[in-house]
Amino acid sequence: MFGQPALNASNPNNDTVVPNSPSDGVSSLTFSASSQFLVASSWASTVSCWETQVAEGMGSAQVNVAPRAQITVPAPALCTSMSADSQNVFVGLGDGTAQMWTLGQPQAQTFGKHDAPIRSIHFVPALSCVFTGSWDKTIKCWDVRQPTPTASVQLPERCYSMDVAHPLMVVATAERKLCVYDLSNANWQRPYRVEDSPLKHQTRCVRCFPDREGFAIGSIEGRVAIHHVDAKDAHKNFAFKCHRDTQDGRAGQASTCNIYAVNDIAFHNLGTFATAGSDGVFNFWDKDSKQRLMAFKRADRPISCAAFSPAGTLYAYALSYDWSRGSESHTPTDPNTIMLHKVQKDEITQRNKKPGRK
């Protein structure tokens, strides 16, 4: 069955609805290196895979998506990654186990274990290994053929988010700590830098620049920080507000501002990026010119996670409750819906870039 656009409050941008979305909260979205497959993990203890088809390049085209496979795992699936050959899916679970699912097989195999939930998982092709970050305050590096990790690194606090763009690895932990690692260093287990986040509130997500020169941080307070690794580029660091709405007050009353979490950040291969928030909005940005490239219409549910395809032609996002407003705002009957947005060239390309500026 092919996904079709259905314009309504849940799909105000007329994007393609992915069929057979998970029955509970969507925790991560990952594309294969070939951009052919989309994988989602869920609090329903499922991992699902779809096959996507889209015309070459960025422009107007039909997006087709069909279910490929789904498995059930022993605990809520919190994060996913894929092998370079697009054949294996790596999954981090809420019970602390790391599993590998070979597409086409009926179940996944356990290859690693933490003492607490795994919050982030990344396959690193350059090293042929899998990195896992956990609430047990460790990062572990795995050769999936071996029962024990090849390395285990202590973190200052619980891992909330992690990203790898070899050789750069950045881990965001509780208490607003950022740990930066150089995986090309033989002694990579010793962080290149440990520092406080430039944002004042809890970190929600961290993502590396495609050029490995820095990373973007999103917080629960509707802010994003652009941060560079090299000290000589510190003058390029900045932060900005986003995912907020201001409502005018009644006569004699001050206006109010609703602030939403930045749940995910995804970089396009052009170096521009997207933010997705608890407000049900996703935006495209250019960090170099410090401007928003595109603001999309607001959906009626939070966006819990999102990802660009490596080819840059698709942006996947999940409309799913994120618990940012507590249990009292949760409506169990609300569906969890994965959407595919066909990326247009003028939406994501840098504009007004000054000559000679890098």
What's the pLDDT tens digit per position in 209-238?
999 999 999 999 999 999 999 999 999 999
**Three-state secondary structure call for residue 235:** helix
Name every residue whose Cβ is closer than 8 Å to that of residue 107 and which is 6 or more positions away in sequence.
Answer: 71, 72, 101
Assess if residue 356 is contained within a domain.
no
The reported pLDDT for the residue numbered 234 is 94
Higher-confidence position of 40 and 335: 40
Higher-confidence position of 353 and 112: 112
Residue 137's domain is classified under what CATH number?
Answer: 2.130.10.10
**CA–CA separation, 282 and 336 (whole Å):** 17
The reported pLDDT for the residue numbered 355 is 42
In this prediction the pTM is: 0.92
pLDDT (mean) for 229-256: 83
The reported pLDDT for the residue numbered 356 is 44
**CA–CA separation, 89 and 84 (whole Å):** 10
Assess if residue 186 is contained within a domain.
yes
Q: How confident is the model at residue 58 (pLDDT cuts 50, 70, 90)?
A: low
pLDDT (mean) for 46-72: 85
Please name the helix (run of DSSP H) or strand (run of DSSP E) that holds residue 219, with its range, or none.
Answer: strand 214-219
Please name the helix (run of DSSP H) or strand (run of DSSP E) that holds residue 345, with its range, or none.
Answer: helix 345-348
**CA–CA separation, 56 and 75 (whole Å):** 38
Higher-confidence position of 350 and 29: 29
Assess if residue 352 is contained within a domain.
no
pLDDT (mean) for 78-95: 98
Name every residue whose Cβ is closer than 8 Å to that of residue 94 and which is 6 or more positions away in sequence.
Answer: 75, 76, 77, 78, 117, 118
Q: Is the confidence at residue 60, as pLDDT, over 60? A: no
Contact of 234 with 242, CB cutoff 8 Å: no
Assess if residue 195 is contained within a domain.
yes
Of residues 249, 239, 242, 250, the one with CA closest to residue 278: 242
**Residue 160: domain span:** 16-326+335-347
The reported pLDDT for the residue numbered 9 is 77
Question: How many structural domains comprise the chain?
Answer: 1
The reported pLDDT for the residue numbered 274 is 99
Average pLDDT, the chain: 92
Q: Is the confidence at residue 354, as pLDDT, over 70? A: no
Assess if residue 7 is contained within a domain.
no
Lowest mean pLDDT among 218-227, 286-295, 301-310, 319-328: 319-328
Assess if residue 113 is contained within a domain.
yes
Q: Is the confidence at residue 157, as pLDDT, over 80? A: yes
The reported pLDDT for the residue numbered 155 is 98
Assess if residue 6 is contained within a domain.
no
Higher-confidence position of 248 and 98: 98
Assess if residue 31 is contained within a domain.
yes
